[in-house]
Amino acid sequence: MLNVVLVEPEIPNNTGNIGRLCVGTESRLHLIHPFGFVINDKNLKRSGLDYWVHLDVTEYQNADEWMKQIPDQSRVFLMSSHAEKSYLETEFQDGDWLVFGKESVGLSKEFLARFDNHLTIPMSPLIRSFNIANSVAFVVGEAKRQIGLKL
């Protein structure tokens, strides 16, 4: 099972969409506070539809609390538009942690400094980034392809 981590998510529709993706791919969702919305926000529920009740989700008050749950920090992959290595060049394993930053600014330099594995999603120079829900779908899809999508 993959672990999808959203650090300080700001937009409820994105989090709801990612939650739905996690249910569909049997991935766990980890949410690190603070959020830009209330977890019972109607937009979160709308984009997660009725799947939210099936979601394996854990909330953490801060990154330090979340980090205590990680058995092997070498299997944590931070997504950043500033990284050199593409997620397509990475060999994913069951249980990996795929970490995404807040929609407006991504992961902070301080957060990025905590781990060595920084990955990017190749994109046209005409854009700065992809929508976070799309980014999660790209990376989870590739990781599931490699591991073997056994649902």
Please give the average per-residue pLDDT across 50-70, as a whole number.
Answer: 92
Q: Which domain holds residue 79?
A: 3-147
Q: What is the CATH number of the domain that holds 136?
A: 3.40.1280.10
Express each pLDDT in 85-113 by its tens digit.
999 999 999 999 999 999 999 999 999 99
- Looking at per-residue pLDDT, the higher value among 51 and 54 belongs to 54
Domain count, the chain: 1
| 123 annotated to a ligand binding site | no
| 39 annotated to a ligand binding site | no
Q: Whole-model pTM? A: 0.92
Q: Kindly state the tokens that stand for 135.
A: 């980014």
| 48 annotated to a ligand binding site | no
Beta strands in the chain (DSSP E): 3-7, 28-32, 57-60, 76-79, 85-86, 97-100, 118-120
Q: Which residue has the tokens 């790209």?
A: 138
Three-state SS at 138? helix
* pLDDT above 60 (res 150): no
Express each pLDDT in 14-51 by its tens digit.
998 999 999 999 999 999 999 887 776 566 666 555 77
Q: List b or e across 14-42, with b for residues whose CB sees 16 or more CB atoms inside 10 angstroms.
A: bbbbbbbbbbebebbbbbbeebebeeebe
Q: How confident is the model at residue 134 (pLDDT cuts 50, 70, 90)?
A: very high
Tell me which amino acid residue 72 is: D
| 79 annotated to a ligand binding site | yes
Tell me what pLDDT residue 39 has. 75
Please give the average per-residue pLDDT across 130-137, as a whole number.
Answer: 96
Tell me what pLDDT residue 105 has. 93
Closest to 31 in 3D by CA, of 83, 92, 78, 101: 101
